[in-house]
Structure 1
Amino acid sequence: MNAVAGSPGATGPGRIMGAAVLLAVEGLLIFVPAVVLGQAVNWPQGLDDPAAVTLPLVAENETALRLGYLAYLAYSLLFLPVIAALVTVLTGPEGRLRPVARIAVILAAVSALARGVGILRWLTVMPALAESWAGADPALRQVLSVQFQAVNDYGGGIGELLGVSALGSAAVACAVIATRELAPTWLTWFGAAVALASALPLAELAGVDAGALTSVGVAAVQLWFLAAAAVLATRARRRHR
């Protein structure tokens, strides 16, 4: 039976509250790139726009682009300590040693790496292409369009499909399994649904247009993080009493 009022192992209230804060930060941090990049380059809806649409926006809003993607990079790299904290404070001493808990952390690490690789295209290659685009003739722009599409598809495949949809959803699924004994039942089922939603964009590998499924999956994960943060904060306060 899932623990409702029990404390996670021998973890102290300070550590539990620290994990809650970390989860809350991760859950809310996504709003920074969503707002900044949304205004600068119509992110995330504009990720599939052609070079003729995106590169002028990159050139016009390079400062905002860099700020937004640096925030998104921080959010993506924070995925590792968030999953590690979750499987540490929401499992018992024996649960932390189980393979599924360790696999969750390993998957989170590789997921964070893949996400970072995908994001770096917007901090390195895309500004350079945008600079070249500004003064290019039609023939050169055709070449730049091909380069843009190749880099964007490859980086998106690594960052969004591999990092977020495949490895990220697998890390969440393993974390859900690892924490199911001490997590509330509703949080476990919510996490299972979130893991499934996060994996749906992998349908693109079969040629299916995933549309906004990536955004839906990311939003679901953020809600799960915030829900887990609320659970941990409540338990930390109870431990202080």
Structure 2
Amino acid sequence: MSVTHPPDRLSDAPTRAAGPRRTAAALLTVEGLLIFVPFAVLGNAIGWPASLDDPAATALPRLLDQEGAVRAGYTVYLLYSVLFLPVAVWTTRALTGGGDSPFSRVAVGFAVASTLARTIGISRWLLAMPGLAEAHGEASDPAVRESVAVQYQVLNDFGGGIGEVLGVSLFAVGWLVCTILAALRSDAAPRWLLIAGFFVAAGLALPLAEIAGADSGAATSVGTSLLHLWFLAAAAALFRRPR
């Protein structure tokens, strides 16, 4: 009479752990490379991201002239920003070995806040700015153009503060730091990657100087570039991690 032994659940653990690692690595790779699409499209069309600081008299006519490219570029950028949430959640899960801790839960909360702030900031270029560009182009009265220019500046500053300062900087830093602190309690991630993450978080935090009224200059681009290099390094580390 044959005896059926219960499945060895411990032997399935490496397989179960490999699933989140592969998923996170794939998402990190897509996110790390997808950013180059809006950079290429918007950079060629309007000189983005340097164009974010242009005055209305320069930005609105150019937006009207390049509306198709601007919509396409910012639509991809919006997709990239929405994708940040699953990327962040799966990365936290993979780097912590699926463990549940206060740090990992807070990290997910920061990821949700970052995604929401990013999408609000980007939406101004798809929903409001094209209308302002049309109004600016059709206005023959200098007073009307000046009024449109003021609206543009206020909306751009407000949307940029939410999207770049809060979404790309503050909340993303919160997610990254909390994820690293949670991951340090496990052996699911290489230590060099976690240590590098602290330096990336410091770079991402530079635009927060704008809250104090300082000009952060190209700090947002520098921090974002560091983050994407870290994304690709994390993807490579997770792909190569022993099953």
TM-score higher than 0.5 here?
yes
Change (3 A) 1:78 1:27: same
Q: How many residues align?
A: 228
Q: CA deviation at 1:14?
A: 4.0
| Structure 1 spans left out of the alignment, 5+ residues | 1-7
Q: Given residue 214 of structure 1, which amino acid in structure 2 is its aligned partner? A: T
C-alpha separation in 1, matches of 2:232 and 2:97: 21
Q: Which of 82, 88, 93 is the aligned partner of 1:77? A: 82
Whether 1:144 aligns to 2:155 is no
Counterpart position of 2:30: 25
Q: CA deviation at 1:9?
A: 6.7
C-alpha separation in 2, matches of 1:72 and 1:113: 13
CA contact (8 A) 2:20 2:90 kept: no
Whether 1:36 aligns to 2:36 is no
C-alpha separation in 1, matches of 2:97 and 2:56: 51
C-alpha separation in 1, matches of 2:15 and 2:102: 20
Further displaced range: 78-87 or 212-221:
78-87
Counterpart position of 1:61: 66
Q: Which of 81, 88, 92 is the aligned partner of 2:97? A: 92
CA contact (8 A) 1:10 1:92 kept: no
CA contact (8 A) 1:9 1:92 kept: no
Q: Which of 207, 213, 216 is the aligned partner of 2:219? A: 213
Q: CA deviation at 1:17?
A: 1.6
Whether 1:199 aligns to 2:199 is no
C-alpha separation in 1, matches of 2:209 and 2:17: 42
Q: Given residue 61 of structure 2, which amino acid in structure 1 is its aligned partner? A: P
Give TM-score scaled by structure 1 length. Answer: 0.91
C-alpha separation in 2, matches of 1:146 and 1:35: 29
C-alpha separation in 1, matches of 2:14 and 2:200: 25
Q: CA deviation at 1:69?
A: 0.6
Counterpart position of 1:133: 136
C-alpha separation in 2, matches of 1:77 and 1:186: 28
Q: Which of 161, 174, 180 is the aligned partner of 1:176? A: 180
Q: CA deviation at 1:18?
A: 2.1
C-alpha separation in 2, matches of 1:30 and 1:160: 15
Aligned partner of residue 11 in structure 1, secondary structure: helix
Aligned partner of residue 205 in structure 2, secondary structure: helix
CA contact (8 A) 1:50 1:149 kept: yes
Q: CA deviation at 1:11?
A: 3.1
Deviations 1:112-133 (A, max 9, x none): 0011000000001100011111
C-alpha separation in 1, matches of 2:38 and 2:101: 35
Give TM-score scaled by structure 2 length. Answer: 0.90
C-alpha separation in 2, matches of 1:227 and 1:100: 22
Q: CA deviation at 1:10?
A: 6.2
Counterpart position of 2:53: 48
| Identical pairs, percent | 52
Counterpart position of 1:112: 115
Compare relative contact order (CA 8 Å, sep 6+) and give the higher one, 1 or 2: 1
Change (3 A) 1:106 1:192: same
Counterpart position of 2:228: 222
Larger Rg: 2
Whether 1:165 aligns to 2:162 is no
Q: CA deviation at 1:183?
A: 1.6
C-alpha separation in 1, matches of 2:127 and 2:20: 38
